[in-house]
Amino acid sequence: AQSVTQLDSHVSVSEGTPVLLRCNYSSSYSPSLFWYVQHPNKGLQLLLKYTSAATLVKGINGFEAEFKKSETSFHLTKPSAHMSDAAEYFCVVSNTGFQKLVFGTGTRLLVSP
Amino acid sequence: GAVVSQHPSRVICKSGTSVKIECRSLDFQATTMFWYRQFPKKSLMLMATSNEGSKATYEQGVEKDKFLINHASLTLSTLTVTSAHPEDSSFYICSAQGGGSPYEQYFGPGTRLTVT
């Protein structure tokens, strides 16, 4: 069975400061991992994905994540937060074939001026 | 590209009635479509997977007679909540696979269902 644990339900940062959203996964085989963002009244948008290539994955809008097998982690980072980054973020693990996505419980990112 | 729409965005219905939600892939053919349910402050839960022209595969615990899924074409899937009850009130999200990236699921904006 696969699962992901998002360690923080809420993260608050100031604009211009770094962002760290934490995710740990559990998988019985090499996982594929994703980060999605959900803005209010908009569909989930893929930020980045890890599919067994480079362990440091760069995504859209300046986000990146590092796959660490020894720590079973896939934390999302961004050097400098923007107000527009305020949203709900989901860490997701997938089976091979990418059909069964297992979502974490989400982390709400709050960005203050 | 790879846009998925849902209609309606919000619907309110009376207890005991049925409501249909449409999911369309606007600019690609979706070989597979998925239906998720999102509870308040909870993650998304996969309800079912459907392939065009085939019966949907439901996840454990999801009542197939209550949540009817039809995937009649490569661009349209529908979810019908039959005999809706207040506990069916939720945010329903569809996704479609088959766009530019072979593995990516493209998500619709969701439908807020309220059963009174």
Q: Which of A92, A90, A91 is nearest to A102 (CA)?
A: A92
* pLDDT (0 to 100) of residue B47: 95
Residue A98, pLDDT above cutoff 70: no
Taking CA atoms, A11 is separated from A8, A112, B13, in Å, by 7, 11, 36
* pLDDT (0 to 100) of residue B54: 83
Chain B residues within an 8 Å CB radius of A90 = 43-44
Chain B residues within an 8 Å CB radius of A9 = 41
DSSP secondary structure letters along B16-34: T--EEEEEEESSS--SEEE
Answer yes or no: do A41 and B49 touch at CB < 8 A: no
Residue B41, pLDDT above cutoff 90: no
> Per the omega criterion (within 30 degrees of 0), is the bond before B8 cis?
yes
Helices (H) and strands (E) in chain B, counts: 0, 11
* pLDDT (0 to 100) of residue A43: 81
Token pair 């009649």: residue: B72
Residue B63, pLDDT above cutoff 80: yes
Residue B98, pLDDT above cutoff 90: no
Q: How far apart are CA B3 and CA B106, in angstroms?
A: 7
Structure confidence at residue B1 as a pLDDT band (50, 70, 90):
low
Mutate to test the interface with A, among B105, B106, B112 (most CBs of A within 10 A): B105
Residue B77 identity (one-letter amino acid): S
DSSP A91: E
Structure confidence at residue B100 as a pLDDT band (50, 70, 90):
low
Residue B75, pLDDT above cutoff 80: yes
| pLDDT tens, residue by residue, B16-26 | 999 999 999 99
Using a CB–CB cutoff of 8 Å, tell me whether B10 touches chain A: no
Structure confidence at residue A97 as a pLDDT band (50, 70, 90):
low
Element containing residue A13 per DSSP (H, E): strand A10-14
| pLDDT tens, residue by residue, A7-66 | 999 999 999 999 999 999 998 777 889 999 998 877 889 999 998 778 899 999 999 999
Q: How far apart are CA B100 and CA B2, in angstroms?
A: 7
Using a CB–CB cutoff of 8 Å, tell me whether B32 touches chain A: yes
* pLDDT (0 to 100) of residue A103: 92
Q: Which of B82, B106, B87, B94 is nearest to B40 (CA)?
A: B87
Taking CA atoms, B6 is separated from A46, A97, B45, B91, in Å, by 18, 24, 18, 12
Mean pLDDT rounded to a whole number for chain B: 91
Q: Which of B102, B103, B107 sits opposite A44 (nearest CB)?
A: B107
* pLDDT (0 to 100) of residue B23: 96
For chain B, how many residues are written? 116
Structure confidence at residue B36 as a pLDDT band (50, 70, 90):
very high
